[in-house]
Every structure is written in C-alpha cells, then in structure tokens.
Structure 1
Amino acid sequence: MNDTTKILTIQDISCYGQCSITVALPVISAFGIETAILPSAVLSTHTSGFTGFTVRDLTEDLPAIQKHWESEGISFDAIYTGFIASAEQLDYIKDIIDSRLNPDGLVFVDPAMADNGEFYSTFDQEFADKMGELCKLGDYILPNTTEACYILHKPWKPDFTKEEMIEMAKELSDFTKRYVILKGDNHRQKEMGMIVLDKKEDTLNFVYNDKIDYLSHGTGDVFASAFVGSTMIGKTPEAAAKVAGEFTKKAIEKTIGDETHTYGVKFEQAIPELYGLLDKFE
C-alpha cells in the first residue's frame, strides 16, 4: 500500500444500525486507506430487529455513476463488495470491476446474503447462484457456512466437523481466483475458527479466536472490513484473518452488558485497539 491507495466498497447504507457502509468506511479508513463508497441501497435502518423500515433501491443509479467515473478517470486499487440489493446489481458490479479496477487491483467479495441456515429476507437460491458468479471475480471470498452451502447447493447444519469444513473450503476454491476465507468453524468447544485456503499455493490453514456466545447483526461486516484493511496494508491472509477476528471479538466485548444496544456492535470503541492487533499479528 502507498499513500495514494484507494478502495471502493459497494454495499448498502443503513442510516441507523451498525452495518455495511457505516462499518466499512470508518474501519477501512482507520488503516489510513482512502475509501470510496457506492451504495447499493439506502435503508432507514437495517432489517434485523426493526419494522417499517424504508428502502431505496439504487440499481438504476449504478450505470450512470460508472459512466461518470469513467469520464473522470477514477479508478481503484481494490473493490470490496458486501450487501447487494438485487440480482440485477450483480451484473452492473461485474462491469464496474472490469472498468474501474486498476491493473493488479484486488477484489474482495463478502457474499452477504444469509446466516444461521437461512437467506436474508430479500434473497433466494437464484440470487445465490448469481452471487457465486461474482465470487469467481474475487481474489478473496469471505462466506460464512450458510452462504457457502447456498453457493455450493449443499445442506446446512449448525455444526460441521473439521473434515467437512475442509471439504467445503476446497469446493469453494472453484469460486475464487485465489483465496477462500470460510468463517464459522466451531468444532472446538471454546474457540471459533475459520479456514484460509490459498488455491495457488495449495495450502489450507485454520485460524482461531476465543469464542463469545453472542449474536449480533453487523459482525460479519466488522470482520470483513478489518480483513480488507489488514490485507491492503500487507498482512498475510492468515494474519489478516486473525486481526479481523480479534477486532470483531473486541467490538463484541464492548457491547456485551448494554441491553439497549441490540442493533449492532460497538466497533467504534474497539478502533483504538486495532493498531495493537496489527503489531501483534504479522
């Protein structure tokens, strides 16, 4: 990375609720990286735990934004995709990657569409299949086990064995240019793990963090944003996964005990501790 590095993140803006762009922008910026945004939709709140929220789908705006960037010569060293509002947007995003990513630029795809064995309310298998095609443009893909199962057309279950996780990661290697970061291994009682697979070097490693029994909306976005930032400043995928996992754990720890804070995690309070994690994990 240098002082001109620019990342584009494509995902929704939830005006209230700590997720998507309102996580990605501050977290990646904390790494000293200029972060541009392309909203896929604008919501009054996120969709978990709120009722009556408003949604403005921005699909029709994407081609015009791309065209303007082309006329201005705007391009990016990395593109990081998160929550995408519609299957139609996936085609536009492919065009943006092809048009606006610098040579040797990196693509990070977080296929944010499902968790705990279920699709988010606006998605289905047809969307998952198109998301799988977007993943194939990614240098890094970051699915959880539910998203992985939908991409692979496999049944999901709450607990996978270590061997099953390894097999799933290997199958996902057909859906990435190089790296699979498969989240959600819980075969160790007191630790939560993820697999880091490098198809080019034919390596597969587990990365573990202490497990916290706490579920919250937005933790996947906290993890992915910290992973992207860590990678872009030169961390190995294993180190970036460790930094991202520990940062997410600290954000959860800042939130536990506050019964009024049910809509996300207090990642902002963990940002000052991020720099110590970067020094700790090489």
Structure 2
Amino acid sequence: MNESIKILTIQDVSCFGQCSITVALPVVSAFGIETAILPSAVLSTHTSGFTDYTVRDLTEDLPAIQKHWESEGIYFDAIYTGFIASAEQLDYIKDIIDSRLKPGGLVFVDPAMADMGEFYNGFDQEFADKMGELCKLGDYILPNTTEACYILHKPWKENFSIEEMLEMAEDLKEFTNRYVILKGYDNGDQMGMIVFDKQESTVEIVYNDKVDYISHGTGDVFASSFVGSVMIGKSPVQSAKIAGEFTKKALEKTIGDETHWYGVKFEQAIPELYDLLKSI
C-alpha cells in the first residue's frame, strides 16, 4: 500500500461553532487524507455573534512543537493555513513551512482575517501586510474580496464588476507562487470565483448557483474542500467548482434552522461530496 498523503492544517480551535480546525479536520479527512493539526489558539466559541468568549493564544507553543516534529522526522505533503492568532505567529509558521514541508510539497494559504469590508476582531492593516508576506509562500491563496483589498491596500466595496475582479486577481499574482483563487464575484443569480494561474497566465471564472443565505464558517468549508480536491488530483478549476458546490449544499442544509445561526451543517453535506467528486 502506498504511503498516505499527510496534510498539516494550522489554524485556531473554536471549541463550539463550526469553523477553522473543527471544519478543516473532518472535511479534509473525508477525502481520505491524513490530517494533522497545529492549533494557533483555543477559543471557547468563535468570535462572530458570541460575547465574552475565552481565548488561549498558543504562540509560545509553536516553536516547541516544531522542534519535536524535527526530532521525530515528521514531514508533510502539504501545509494549509487558516485563522492565525497573531502577527508573531506568522513568522513561526514560515519557519514551520520551511522545516516540515516535504520537497515538492504544496502550501495553501487562506488569509482568514476579514469579510464584508471589515477585519475580524483583533486584526488590522499591519497584520494584513504580514499575511501578504505569508501568502507569497503559498502555491494557492484563497482570499475573499475584503482580504484581497487589505492585502493590496485597495478600497473595498460590496459589489465588484467582473473586470475589477480580474484586475484584482492579476494584482494578487505578486502574493502567490502560482494560483490565486479569488472568491466573491456576485452577478445576482450566481457566485463566481476567479482561478488565476500565474505561471501559465490563464484565468477562468467558476460559477455556482447563489444561495440567498449567509453564515459564519463558509470560507473554511470552501477552503478545506478545495484543499482536499487538489490533493486527490483534481485541477484547480475542478477543485473550485467542487468547493463552491459543497459550500452551497452545506448552506442549503442549514437554511430554515434558526437555532443553528453560528455555522453551516457541513457534516450533513459530506455524503453528497462524494457524488461531486465523481461528477466534476
């Protein structure tokens, strides 16, 4: 039997609320991929809609974990970063990528720091600038329009034209080794993603039918299913289509349940993920 693919995901653990590692671990694992975790912080809940949540910053633990992995000879085929707790952690993560990624391994950076024109709690432009430096190590970067605007120091607006989205993707080529997956084009009936290949200078737009529902954690659902799709051999365009459809199905599972306001029921959509992998 061939050695299994091993991925490391670096992001926070929100003990309650479907986001970050509590999405990445089950979703990437659903692709048959061994998934290791490195928590950047532990929160009692995520930060959207909850109050008085607790936060345990794990910055000081990162170097010791890296040192232990080095002594054990532990390497990864890919490293996937999400919500990072502090700017200081970004420097440690660069070292972990340099030390623990196998030759030829892939780096996926989801610069999870902002949405709808605003930073998440605790982040600012200085953090965005350092996140931009981490993105430069990424073979794939997956920003939404807000994150892209902060990285590029451009003003954000609620709706961008397709020409503006394409220009933004082109500008982001300075912040990736190869691929930009820019999310957030809304044409009214569909949501579009720009898949820009820096190496080949090609651009494709991937569309999914729009769901009239917004929820926390959809970015993590998208990124995790995109990573899994790429790692099992799907093309970036196929992976964007799969991730968009899986995210849409997770949203559809959640609509109508007013008690489930804190995330999407992605677990209920996982059986349908396998059908997507066969059809796309």
User: Which residue is 1:55 aligned to?
Assistant: 55
2:98 partner letter:
D
Q: Deviations over 1:6-55 (max 9, x none)?
A: 00000000000000000000000000000000000000000001111100
Take 1:37 and 1:125, find their aligned partners in 2: how far apart are those partners? 27
Take 1:251 and 1:6, find their aligned partners in 2: how far apart are those partners? 25
User: Aligned pair 1:165/2:178, yes or no?
Assistant: no
Tell me the matched-pair count: 279
Q: Retained in 2: the 8 A contact 1:139–1:178?
A: yes
SS in 2 for 1:180: strand
Q: Tell me whether 3-12 or 75-84 shows the greater mean CA deviation.
A: 3-12
Take 1:15 and 1:278, find their aligned partners in 2: how far apart are those partners? 30
User: Aligned pair 1:248/2:247, yes or no?
Assistant: yes
- Unmatched segments (≥5 aa) in structure 1: none
Take 1:59 and 1:216, find their aligned partners in 2: how far apart are those partners? 28
User: Which residue is 1:198 aligned to?
Assistant: 197
Take 2:237 and 2:60, find their aligned partners in 1: how far apart are those partners? 38
1:91 partner letter:
D
Take 1:179 and 1:92, find their aligned partners in 2: how far apart are those partners? 23
2:133 partner letter:
E
User: Which residue is 1:133 aligned to?
Assistant: 133
Q: Retained in 2: the 8 A contact 1:3–1:33?
A: no
SS in 2 for 1:200: coil
Q: Deviations over 1:151-178 (max 9, x none)?
A: 0000000000110000000000110000
Counting aligned pairs with the same residue, the percent is 82
User: Where does 1:115-126 land on structure 2 (aligned, <5 Å)?
Assistant: 115-126=115-126
Take 2:229 and 2:214, find their aligned partners in 1: how far apart are those partners? 24
SS in 2 for 1:278: helix
User: Which residue is 1:109 aligned to?
Assistant: 109
2:271 partner letter:
P
SS in 2 for 1:62: helix
User: Which residue is 2:266 aligned to?
Assistant: 267
User: Where does 1:199-218 land on structure 2 (aligned, <5 Å)?
Assistant: 199-218=198-217
User: Which residue is 1:6 aligned to?
Assistant: 6
Take 2:54 and 2:106, find their aligned partners in 1: how far apart are those partners? 33
Off by >4 Å, runs of 4+ in structure 1? none
Take 1:189 and 1:155, find their aligned partners in 2: how far apart are those partners? 22
SS in 2 for 1:262: coil
Calculate the aligned-residue CA RMSD, in Å.
0.6
